[in-house]
Amino acid sequence: MIPVTKPFLPPQEEYNKYLTGIWRRNWLTNMGPLASELEMKLKEHLKLDHLLYVTNGTVALQMAIKAFDLKGEIITTPFSFVATTSSIVWEGCEPVFVDIEEESLNIDTSKIEAAITENTTAILATHVYGNPCDVVAIEKIARKYHLKVIYDGAHAFGVQINGKSIFEYGDISICSLHATKLYHSIEGGLIITKDATLLKKLAYIRNFGFNGPEAFAELGINGKNSEFHAAMGLANLEYISQITDQRRKLTLQYDDKLKMLRARRPLWHLNSENNFAYYPIVFENETTMLKSMEYLKTHEIFTRRYFYPSLANTLPYLEPQDFEITDKVAQCVLCLPLYPDLSLEEVDFICRLLLRVQNN
């Protein structure tokens, strides 16, 4: 059986070394030494000045919206994981969808201005599969209309653009460290900003708003993470180069073997390198995609329709809307298996099956 993804796990004895320290200190949560160490090492690895380690990427999004006290409308994409939209609604704001670009699958910046009203307060855009949005165009629009910019970089760990971290763009960026991600801490997330004052506010928000044992500075939530999760993050960080290199080899093998497949890959940002977080392909139509998906399944190869369906016409708490490109892509996109334990021979097998479906 070949799953669509499989979490990377370090050698158990390396994780156990961290557990020994946890048992000795008896400090399990509330930003213990391992969580603090992970923050420091991630800042060094990603070359960032400021970063907070939080419960998960969804909480990070909610914290970002709360930190700016956003109201009214937030422009966003219908082609993303549900948390992008649900976080907006959860915080009492209204998502305003803009269709995506057909090539990159990111929000179409040429359509953002038409969606701005007097009630618009922010843009929340997703770097889909880690592929950077047009951050230059978004920044220009945001400055013109005095809007905040939040980037959902759940998939974008390690991505750089124009020589610096993708997380340096926008007012706040978030990242997911969920077990399915390229780099993970089982459950976890990051929230990043260049603004030191804003970071301090976010740190208060992360810990119930506490400013000392008997004082409060902000309205807060419990956005902290545990020492056990931080231990996994620290152990896995030692292998990030190895993980990325293996995923690169697998991706190049897919690219080579699927040259003749009548499906396309999203166009990656020209000034950025793929972080190999996913291997999505977009088929010519939904019928062909479903036929391929089912044929792979008969051979115990599991894929994922990611993202499907469109958030704009699916969520029960929003009025349904149709968007031509998003609806088409969501119906035709399929993510193929990609994880460090996957072998080149298994990739070859998957590719042969896909080409066989096409030729039958």
Domain definitions of the chain by residue range:
12-237, 240-359
| Residue 284 CB-half CA count within 13 A | 4
Beta bridge partners of 318: none
Q: How many angstroms separate the CA atoms of 104 and 126, rounded?
A: 11
Q: What local confidence, expressed as pLDDT, does residue 101 receive?
A: 98
Q: Assess whether pLDDT exceeds 90 at residue 296.
A: yes
Report residue 330's pLDDT band, with 50, 70 and 90 as the boundaries.
very high
- In this prediction, residue 112 carries a pLDDT of 98
Taking a C-beta distance cutoff of 8 angstroms, is the pair 330, 310 a contact?
A: yes
Segments of the chain assigned E as strands: 52-54, 73-76, 94-97, 120-126, 148-152, 160-161, 164-165, 172-176, 189-192, 263-264, 280-283, 333-335
Burial code (b: 16+ CB inside 10 Å, e: under 16) for 120-131 equals bbbbbbbbbbbb
Q: What is the pLDDT of residues 245-274, one digit of tens each?
A: 999 999 999 999 999 999 999 999 999 999
Residues 6+ apart with CB under 8 A from 202: 52, 63, 64, 67, 172, 191, 193
- Neighbouring residues of 109: CB distance < 8 A, sequence distance ≥ 6: 133, 134, 137, 138, 141
Contact 123, 146 (CB under 8 A): no
Amino acid at 99: D
With the C-alpha atoms ordered 141, 155, 273, 345, is the resulting torsion angle positive or negative?
negative
- In CATH terms, are 12-237 and 240-359 the same topology? no
How high does pLDDT run on average in the chain? 97
Per CATH, the number for 12-237 is 3.40.640.10
Under the banding of pLDDT at 50, 70 and 90, the label for residue 136 is very high
What was the pLDDT predicted at 120?
Answer: 98
Question: What pLDDT, on the 0 to 100 scale, is given for residue 359?
Answer: 85
Residue type, 282: V
Look-up of token digits 């230059």: 136
Return the pLDDT at 162. Answer: 87
Torsional class of 124: left (φ above 0), alpha (ψ -120 to 50), beta (otherwise): beta
Model confidence at 346, pLDDT cuts 50, 70, 90, reads: very high
Residues 52-91 pLDDT 10s: 999 999 999 999 999 999 999 999 999 999 999 999 999 9
In angstroms, rounded to a whole number, what is the distance separating the alpha carbons of residues 308 and 286?
11
User: 103: helix, coil or strand?
Assistant: coil
Segment 118-131 shows an average pLDDT of: 98
Assign a CATH topology to domain 240-359: Aspartate Aminotransferase, domain 1 (3.90.1150)
Contact 43, 238 (CB under 8 A): no
